Amino acid sequence: MFMTKILKPLAAAAVVAAAMAGTAQAEGQGYWQGVQAAGVLRCGAAVAPPYVMRDPATGEYSGFFAELCRELATTLEVKPEFVDTTWDNIVAGLQAGKWDVSLALNRTPARGMAVNFSVPAMEYQISLAYNKDNAKVPANPVSVADIDVEGLTLAVMSGTAQDKAISSAIKKATILRLPTNDETRLAVVSKRADILVDASDTNLLFTQSNPDWAVAFNPAPALAKQGVAFGLPASLSAQDVEVVNIFLEERVATGHVEELIRQSVDKVLAAGQ
């Protein structure tokens, strides 16, 4: 669902590696026919509840984008395979042919120069969550400028869209970049950081899990408003991209994606009780 560092064009070795991947396109063959021949749809998955979740005990993936991956695999009549990655590497892995789709990737112009995108499954914006009893946080903040003060520390997942957005907006406060969603939340809970920078729906889960003290606000003007989509290989033809678009458009139009989101949110909240 999220922003990562955009790499320069891959070296020839990486291009060769991608060409040798199990779902490489044969000459004159569509990409998804290659996936069908391989029998598996490889989904690059970086954890960010409720989009993508991973049970540490079983390795089982859940979350609404994980479910969409399974449904796309069913549509293609192949098996889904989740490939664990990080937000720092989710674009690079797609470029290198390590998987066929990246899950919950924010659509940005910079990423659009490196990979293809499907139509959005949902809209995304960034919010800021904090402890209402924290005297360091100015009262009733509205904008990013209100919390951009020396002495405040903002926790954010490294390589995500929110990392990119907050990094360009903050001049005085300190940014604490951490590798996982759990670590950013723990930083605020433990008072190592003062403010949690994350997607608005993810921060909603955080405030609902800590109703006694956690509050959040969507800054005005917005830090970012983007579509969240499947990331697709840059080599895909317009026809190949349209296959995923048609799949996703129907599920959005019928309310199915909205229902998957609700189920994922309920699962996260139940786990926190």
Q: Dump pLDDT digits (tens) for 224-252.
A: 888 999 999 999 999 999 999 999 999 99
- Tell me, yes or no, if the two domains 12-122+225-272 and 125-217 fold the same way: yes
Task: Kindly list the domain boundaries of the chain, sorted by start residue.
Answer: 12-122+225-272, 125-217
Return the pLDDT at 96: 97
Q: Work out the percent of the chain whose per-residue pLDDT is above 70.
A: 89
Residue 14's pLDDT band (cuts 50, 70, 90) = very low
118-172 per-position pLDDT tens digit? 999 999 899 999 999 999 999 999 999 999 999 999 999 998 889 999 999 999 9
State how far the Cα of 101 lies from the Cα of 104, in Å rounded to an integer: 10
Where do runs of H (alpha helix) occur along 135-233? 144-147, 161-169, 181-189, 200-209
pLDDT surpassing 80 at residue 18: no
> For 125-217, CATH number?
3.40.190.10
84-109 per-position pLDDT tens digit? 999 999 999 999 999 999 999 999 89
DSSP β-bridge partners for residue 50: none
Which amino acid is present at 204? L
pLDDT surpassing 90 at residue 47: yes
- Geometric angle at alpha carbon 155, from 268 and 198, rounded to 5°: 45
Q: Per CATH, which fold does 12-122+225-272 belong to?
A: D-Maltodextrin-Binding Protein; domain 2 (3.40.190)
